[in-house]
A and B are shown apart, each in its own frame.
Chain A
């Protein structure tokens, strides 16, 4: 018998049953597993130390290899970067937040000059929680407003950026911390190693750099950060002299047509 789709979805959804009961106490099982794991690790470490102390000639070499092996097992090194920060990994992600940001209408369209990078952070002060993906906050000077409220100075954020392992760790589950081997690193190592986050939806979109000019499509975030954020794919290089933007797919300078961007 045919039914209205709303009715079908409501009925089917209501018939979903949760077959198990969650309890905080179940954590005991995890603690027990952790205890066994710690004990095993202790035995392995004790034996390793004993072994290393007895192999006098190759002590230094063995130690070095051991460190390298630990790193190889626990890190997915996609990219090495010798710039200022020790970026040990680049993560390309396509988050829910991205897809939402991609579909929303810009409230502010403005040409700006980037003055400074305020910070990159994954901490959300409003909810006092850490996100799995960071944002980068910029200060900019407005050159020309095409849509929305006129403003001279602007602080906005963009999805992605570089954060330290120590900051990233705060957003992870205990199992993820272990899987990534972060529990084997010292606090100092975590504070001096960085991960770069690039949204897969921003590929082909110019990277925002201090001193350069851009046309930005922005939406106000009143839920979390109380500032404007760029809409995904809403960043264009801007030529102030000729009032043109660079088409991100064809890489050609074009006139600004608000209906087409």
Chain B
């Protein structure tokens, strides 16, 4: 990908278009985790790609391209949310250390018809993004840490917390 980035930096639009299929799923997962509307997600990703292409010469380290463009995307999503509706903030019960442990290896049955975004819809915005990045395995832990500015311990604890919420939601049906 770095060769394509280099070519794109020199103004080769085709090279940038070749990068897009390699990253669009990553970008989609992040944007769709933040914004619950396919059309808006599509527009924002499109805008992010154009913005990234126009500003590509500002990217100093080509190896950090995915972190850089994901940051642009997150900023674009935040700007969009700020100008539309305030994201709902869902409160949740405080969970002690015991709960973390008891939910660590939880087993559940979730219907096949329920998709990924439905499962995570009740999580906080930052948790949705984190869970999408982590479980898609599209981003390395280092990239997640860099993009979300979280250390690995915090990533782990946030994932545990999010899993507790999901488990509680789907346990009720049993």
Residue of A nearest to B103 (CB): A5
- B100 lies within 8 A of chain A by Cβ: no
Interface residues of B in 134-174 (CB under 8 A from A): 135-137, 146, 148-150, 154, 163, 166-167
Q: How far is the CA of A97 from the CA of B74 in the complex (A)?
A: 11
Q: Which residues of B contact A129 (CB under 8 A)?
A: 55, 58, 71-72, 75
Q: Which residues of B contact A25 (CB under 8 A)?
A: 13, 17
- A14 lies within 8 A of chain B by Cβ: yes
Q: Which of A13, A21, A97 has the most CB of B within 10 A?
A: A13
Q: Contact check, A3 vs B109: say whether CB atoms are below 8 A apart.
A: yes
Q: Contact check, A132 vs B75: say whether CB atoms are below 8 A apart.
A: yes
Interface residues of B in 101-143 (CB under 8 A from A): 103, 105-110, 114-117, 119, 124-126, 129, 131-132, 135-137
Q: Contact check, B125 vs A13: say whether CB atoms are below 8 A apart.
A: no
- A4 lies within 8 A of chain B by Cβ: yes
Contact of A132 among B44, B82, B126 (CB under 8 A): B82
Interface residues on B, range: 35 or more
**Binding site of B, secondary structure by majority: helix, strand, loop or mixed?**
helix
Contact of B110 among A8, A97, A176, A223 (CB under 8 A): A8
Q: Contact check, B116 vs A16: say whether CB atoms are below 8 A apart.
A: yes
- A131 lies within 8 A of chain B by Cβ: yes
Contact of A173 among B47, B110, B137, B166 (CB under 8 A): B47
Q: Which residues of B contact A261 (CB under 8 A)?
A: none
Q: Which residues of B contact A179 (CB under 8 A)?
A: 83
Q: A9-B135, A94-B86, A129-B72 are in contact. Are A175 and B47 (CB under 8 A)?
A: yes
Contact of A4 among B16, B68, B105 (CB under 8 A): B105
Q: How far is the CA of A132 from the CA of B82 in the complex (A)?
A: 9
Contact of B116 among A4, A12, A91, A128 (CB under 8 A): A12
A178 CB → nearest B CB, Å? 11
Q: Which residues of A contact B80 (CB under 8 A)?
A: 173, 176
- A15 lies within 8 A of chain B by Cβ: yes
- A18 lies within 8 A of chain B by Cβ: yes
Residue of A nearest to B79 (CB): A132
Q: Contact check, A131 vs B75: say whether CB atoms are below 8 A apart.
A: yes
Contact of B47 among A23, A100, A174 (CB under 8 A): A174
A205 CB → nearest B CB, Å? 17
Apart from A3-B108, A133-B78, what are 14 other A-B pairs with CB-CB below 8 Å?
A: A9-B116, A9-B166, A12-B114, A13-B136, A18-B28, A94-B86, A100-B148, A100-B149, A103-B154, A128-B58, A132-B78, A173-B44, A173-B47, A176-B80
Q: Which residues of B contact A (CB under 8 A)?
A: 13, 16-17, 20-21, 24-25, 28-29, 32, 42-47, 49-51, 53, 55, 58, 60, 68, 71-72, 74-76, 78-80, 82-83, 86-87, 89, 103, 105-110, 114-117, 119, 124-126, 129, 131-132, 135-137, 146, 148-150, 154, 163, 166-167
18 A-B interface contacts by CB (under 8 A):
A5-B107, A6-B135, A12-B110, A12-B119, A12-B135, A13-B135, A18-B25, A20-B42, A25-B13, A25-B17, A94-B89, A100-B126, A128-B58, A129-B72, A131-B75, A171-B79, A176-B79, A180-B83
Q: Which residues of A contact B (CB under 8 A)?
A: 1-6, 8-10, 12-16, 18, 20-27, 91, 93-97, 99-100, 103-104, 127-129, 131-133, 171-176, 179-180, 223-224
